Amino acid sequence: MADTVYENVLLYDVYGSMLTDKQRNIFDLHLNEDLSLGEIAELEGITRQGVRDSLVRGRQTMEDLEERLGLIGKDKQLCEAADELEEIAAQIAGKFDKQSAVLTALASQLRELL
């Protein structure tokens, strides 16, 4: 997984609770409060390098969890399946109204679960 803000946020949302309290706090300050490494270092009373190291170790922990558990990948697959159901429902709408309505309802239920 490439190191983008979106991917960091996604990993943190899914696996953040598995980090140490300190890592979780640093990730929260960096991702949610949009603080720089220097600002976090000042708040936490550690060096900028210490903040960076904590972010790198935390990200590695979360990537390892994703590799083992695959929760983000499974969520993506379910979203794609819901998209496919909606597309099929749209294609058969008018020809098979009842089946189309069932597929649309299934897609909606799948999205609610997500």
Q: Residues 52, 88: one domain?
A: no
Q: Residues 33, 81: one domain?
A: no
- Amino acid 112: pLDDT: 77
Q: Residues 80, 108: one domain?
A: yes
Q: What is the CATH number of the domain that holds 14?
A: 1.10.10.10
- Amino acid 102: pLDDT: 77
Q: Residues 64, 78: one domain?
A: no
Half-sphere exposure for 41 (CA within 13 Å, toward CB): 11
Q: For the chain, what is the domain count?
A: 2
This prediction has a pTM of 0.71
Q: Residues 17, 54: one domain?
A: yes
Q: Residues 16, 65: one domain?
A: yes
Distance separating alpha carbons of residues 28 and 91, to the nearest angstrom: 44
Q: Residues 9, 38: one domain?
A: yes
- Amino acid 2: pLDDT: 52
Q: Residues 16, 63: one domain?
A: yes
Per-residue pLDDT of the chain (114 residues; tens, 9 = 90+): 456 888 999 999 999 999 999 999 999 999 999 999 999 999 999 999 999 999 999 999 999 999 999 999 998 888 888 888 888 877 777 777 777 777 778 788 777 776
- Amino acid 72: pLDDT: 93
- Amino acid 111: pLDDT: 75
Q: Residues 12, 57: one domain?
A: yes
Domain of 27 in residue numbering reads as 5-69
Q: Residues 16, 62: one domain?
A: yes
